Amino acid sequence: MAAPWTIDGVKEALAAKKISARELLADFYRRIEARNAELNAYLALTPERARRQADRIDALVAAGSPLPPLAGVPVAIKDVISTRGTKTTCGSKILENYIPPYDATAVERLEAAGAVILGKTNCDEFAMGSSNENSAYGPVKNPLAVDRVPGGSSGGSAAVVAAGLAVASLGTDTGGSIRQPGSFCGIPAMMGSYGRVSRYGLIAFASSLDRIGPFASKVRDVGAVLQVIAGRDPQDSTSTTAPVPDYGAELGKPLKRPRLGIPKEYFAEGMEAGVRKKIEAGIALFRKLGCEVVDIRMPHTDFAIATYYIIATAEASSNLARYDGVRYGLRVADDSLLAMYRKTRGAGFGPEVKRRIVLGTYVLSAGYYDAYYLKGQKVRALIAQDFRDAFTKVDAILTPTSPVPPFKLGERTSDPLQMYLADIYTVTGSLAGVPGISVPCGKIEGTLPVGLQIFGPPFGETRVLQLAHAFENAGGPEV
Amino acid sequence: MKISREDVLRVAELAYLDLSDAELETYRAQIDEILEYISKLNELDTSKVEPMAQVLADDQTADATLREDLIAPCAVAEDVLDHAPDPEPPYFRVPKVIDR
């Protein structure tokens, strides 16, 4: 396969009139046509919208006008992010025919920056899952090994970039749903700090954890997409006014001998030997780059999964109460209103979503609230404190993204708890609200990709991107 | 055993969620195992810890402000009703709720 398109590559080719935005778009739709039946990564394409946008960009080129930062760049959007006039199913039967009347802010900003939206990508139902096998529309295949999962829940958004079916994409991350599929598909993938990117138009799973973030084939492009979607949005009161730095300009600056922390608890047990070997080689590469690497302790790490699955399911049970067959989506008719609710929800939700609604309702219910939900919120505070303590000693934290490489389809579907436990390295940062990136860190036996995760302090996106970029340039993806 | 069949039934009722007998038993067993795992949190003394409801309250308080209450156009009513399961503009129609 030829080297993948980059954002700068697209812009240069357009400016030099080597290709038009319309031709580039047609080329991507041809690739999608050839590969999507196998991968099942796109759920819907948006050719009319894409052509209108491509024509706008071509008109700018023809007029010699300055091109916006993502001019003509073909992008894909996870199907939990609202797109006006295009079905947004959340990978669920309950929203099979749902057409949002508005665009998410992140989508609006991408398009305002010149990006061309190709379509919507498959994902675990309501973003609940780590393998993309919980989609009501079938699993996505990993483009690097089609008998294996692409990771989840943003499996489609990771797969389309890895397969060259989009230059960049948006995913969402609640407990690892951007970083883990990025790791499994061998591409960089990032969640900014909680509050960095507006959630307006993101269909809610767990509101105190949900974040929108980018996938691309290079760290520089991850930064370029984040640049466009980040920043205050009056429609989301949790989006912050903290200024958005110029990530691209910062990437070129030399590293100032950063101190990187290796949390002992992340390297204790449960990590596959092949992953460990690559991560250790990755850490050695950071040393070679002049970073100081020190051991740190994050003593509450082992409690993160339990905490996460209380808080995430509690918030989900509340957020998903809105699917009742009244205003949108599926309705299963009945003479009684309550029976209509029960039947609609029983028929519309898949097994993982039902399991989480039951668990989340239970931990919030009278008599159990203090023992579970309140306890979870308190341990969340301890986990966040671990991160605050760590960042008084180090500039960033290095960990594996996942304890295992991409596994075979169907291999882990029978045991939900085992599936949850594999989220151990990603849920911590989700609970604490810090930014994190997964950057490719070699392949086990040359085939199965490993991801190295870099956590930074709140609003330390620049540092996270600088480190990932330096690692990528120094050959990190081939260690 | 952390959770009984009756507990799952009660919770499903709270969540307005129809579950088949097979689903009831599967979820009961799986959630039981998950709750067993979650009980490891009891190893931690949290009596002096303040619960954390959200991230921003921590260090970004100044940012989590409300926007000004300004009137802005939001003409989506027709779109919304167009895609409703059983619309009767300007209403959503539902089965009769009140018995006479």
pLDDT digits (tens, 9 = 90+) for A302-347: 999 999 999 999 999 999 999 999 999 999 999 999 999 999 999 9
What's the confidence (pLDDT) of residue A1? 52
CB contacts < 8 A, A to B, total 174
Separation of alpha carbons B15 and A294, rounded Å: 48
Q: Which residue of B has its CA nearest to A334?
A: B95
Of A41, A247, A190, A10, the C-alpha closest to A115 is A10
- Tokens 């290796």: give the residue: A262
Inter-residue contact A258 to A467 (CB < 8 Å): yes
Residue span of the structural domain in which B3 resides: 1-44
pLDDT at B65: 62
B63 — pLDDT class (breaks 50, 70, 90): low
The pTM of the full predicted model, rounded to 2 decimals, is: 0.97
Number of domains in chain B: 1
Q: Complex ipTM, two decimals?
A: 0.94
Statement to judge: residues A288 and A314 lie in one domain: no
* Nearest chain B Cα distance for residue A121, angstroms: 22
> What span, in angstroms and rounded, lies between the C-alpha atoms of A105 and A108?
5
CATH number of the domain that residue B18 is part of = 1.10.20.60
Kindly state the percentage of chain A with pLDDT values over 70.
Answer: 100
Question: Are A326 and B92 within 8 A, CB to CB?
Answer: yes
Yes or no, beta carbons of B85 and A328 under 8 Å apart: yes
Q: Where are the beta strands (DSSP E) in A299-358?
A: none
Q: Which residues of B are less than 8 Å from A342 in CB distance?
A: 16-18
Q: Are residues A359 and A390 in the same domain?
A: no
Bond prior to B90 in cis (omega within 30° of 0): yes
Q: Is residue A215 part of a domain?
A: yes
Minimum CA–CA partner of A340 in chain B: B95
- Tell me the per-residue pLDDT of B23-53, one tens digit each, with 9 for 90 and over: 999 999 999 999 999 999 999 999 999 999 8
pLDDT value of residue A255? 86
Strands A396-400 vs A259-263: parallel, antiparallel or unpaired: parallel
Which residues in chain A are closer than 8 Å to B58, comparing Cβ atoms? 384, 433
The CATH number that applies at residue A408 is: 3.90.1300.10
Q: Report if residue B18 sits inside a domain.
A: yes
Name the residue in chain B with its Cα closest to that of A303. Answer: B41
Do A240 and A171 share a domain, yes or no?
yes
pLDDT of B58 higher than 80: no
**CA separation for the pair A252, A230 (Å, rounded):** 20
Per the prediction, chain A carries an average pLDDT of 97
Residue A211 belongs to some domain of the structure: yes
For helices A21-39 and A155-162, angle between their N-to-C axes, nearest 10 degrees: 120
Distance from the Cα of A237 to chain B's closest Cα (Å) equals: 6
Residue A274 pLDDT grade (very low, low, confident, very high; cuts 50, 70, 90): very high
Number of domains observed in the structure of chain A: 3
- Give the residue among A137, A132, A162 at the shortest CA–CA distance from A149: A132
Same domain, A462 and A390: yes
Say if the Cβ atoms of A420 and B34 lie within 8 Å. yes
Catalytic (active-site) positions of A = 78, 153, 177
Position A410 in a domain: yes
Q: What pLDDT is recorded for position B68?
A: 79
Same domain, A119 and A137: yes
Residue B76 lies in a domain: no
Domain residues for A290? Answer: 259-300+382-478
Distance (Å, rounded) from C-alpha B84 to C-alpha B92? 7
Residues of chain A found within 8 Å of residue B37, distances taken between Cβ atoms = 305-306, 417
Residues 6+ apart with CB under 8 A from A177: A123, A124, A127, A130, A152, A153, A154, A171
Cβ atoms of A378 and B50 closer than 8 Å? yes
Domain-located, residue B52: no
Structural domain includes residue B25: yes
The per-residue pLDDT for A176 is: 98
Place of tokens 């579907």: A413
A90 Rama class: left (phi>0) / alpha (psi -120 to 50) / beta = left
